[in-house]
Every structure is written in C-alpha cells, then in structure tokens.
C-alpha cells in the first residue's frame, strides 16, 4: 500500500505534509519489522532533502526500538549533520552512542536500559550501580572508540571521573575495624 501511494505521489501533486506523513509511516513500518535495507532505500528515493530530513527527525522522535533509533541517528548524522542545530546534533550523537553501547550488551538487557539510550553516561552509571562489571568494560570500550574526535557534551575524562567515583565508593568501608586487646 505504501509503495502504491508513493507511485501516486509521483503522478499527481500531493501536499508536502501528506507526502511527509506517507513516507514517515512507511519508514516507521519498515523499521518496526526490522528491514533496515528497505528503510535506507526509501530514504534514498526521496528527492527533496528537506522532506527526507523532516521524515528522519520525526521518525527518530517516535522512540521505536533500539535498532531503529540507532539506524536513524546514524542516518541523520551521516546525511544531515550540517542542517542540524548544535543542540540537536549533540542529542542525536548521544542517542547514537547510547544505542551503540546498548547494542553491544546482551540482548535481554536492552529492555532494562532502553529508556537511557539517549544518555550514555547514565547507562554507564546504571551498569555500575547494578554491579554489571563485565558489561561496564564493554560499554567503556565502545564509548572510548566512539568518542575519538567527537564533541557531544561529554568526554573520555567524564567517563574516567565516573569510574573513579564508583571505584572510590566500592573501597569505602562504612565501619572501623576494632582492635583486639588481650
């Protein structure tokens, strides 16, 4: 049905908003079923960059699933970086990094941390608080790779400070040892 509507859009004048709604719904459908290849082909078929940007941003704001959010954040960064405001760029890059970190963790854990996907440092902190040390190692490695040459509102030093803070808390004993006297 989407493809038929798209063909009609090429043959007859369709208002811009209706065209955006059609393509957005088609894109959301493809992302829901996990067909990233067809989603990419759909975005590449859209000739007007303004419509493509609107569709991608509106779809990203729907907060579909982790893979869809990652795909859209990657697409927007790769194709429309210069068209985005600095704040929006940082928001999209943070979502990209957070979703990448979550995708590197075991799949059953995705649902527990998805709500934090746009806040990678909070994902890391939550993993530390939940004592998921192995997952923290994977998350830190992923973030270090992604942060190379990026500017998104936090740095490698912020990650190191967070790790230091929790390492200090892990070594902090709330009681004093009593000496045995004979």
pLDDT of residue 27: 92
Mean pLDDT, the chain cut into blocks of 10 residues (182 residues total): 76 84 90 90 88 90 86 91 87 89 88 87 88 87 79 77 82 65 61
Within 10 angstroms of residue 50's Cβ, the number of other Cβ atoms is: 12
Closest CA to 126 of 152, 104, 146, 102: 102
Q: Which letter does DSSP use for residue 155 in this model?
A: -
Residues in the chain: 182
pLDDT of residue 175: 64
Phi first, then psi, for residue 174 (nearest 5°) are -80, 5
Question: What is the secondary structure of 80-142 as a DSSP string?
Answer: HGGGS-HHHHHHHHHHHHHHHHHHTS-GGGHHHHGGGTT-HHHHHHHHHHTT-HHHHHHHHHH
Cut 0.85: pTM above it: no
pLDDT of residue 114: 87
Q: Which residues contact 33 (CB under 8 A, 6 or more apart)?
A: none
Query: Treating both helix axes as pointing N-terminal to C-terminal, what angle do 16-32 and 49-60 enclose, rounded to 10 degrees?
Result: 50
pLDDT of residue 180: 64
Q: Strand, coil or helix: what is 10?
A: helix
């Amino acid at each position: 049905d989407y493809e038929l509507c798209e063909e009609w859009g090429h043959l007859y004048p369709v208002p811009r908003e209706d065209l955006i709604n059609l393509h957005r719904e088609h894109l959301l459908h493809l992302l829901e079923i996990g067909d990233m290849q067809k989603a990419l082909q759909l975005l590449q078929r859209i000739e007007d960059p303004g419509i493509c940007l609107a569709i991608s941003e509106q779809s990203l704001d729907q907060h579909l699933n982790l893979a869809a959010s990652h795909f859209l954040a990657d697409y927007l960064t790769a194709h429309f970086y210069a068209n985005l405001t600095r704040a929006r760029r940082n928001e999209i890059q943070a979502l990209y990094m957070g979703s990448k970190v979550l995708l590197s963790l075991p799949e059953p854990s995705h649902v527990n941390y998805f709500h934090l996907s746009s806040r990678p440092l909070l994902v890391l902190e939550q993993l530390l608080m939940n004592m998921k040390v192995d997952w923290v190692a994977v998350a830190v490695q992923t973030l270090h790779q992604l942060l190379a040459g990026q500017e998104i509102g936090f740095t490698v030093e912020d990650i190191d400070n967070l790790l230091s803070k929790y390492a200090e808390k892990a070594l902090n004993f709330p009681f004093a040892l009593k000496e045995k006297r004979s």
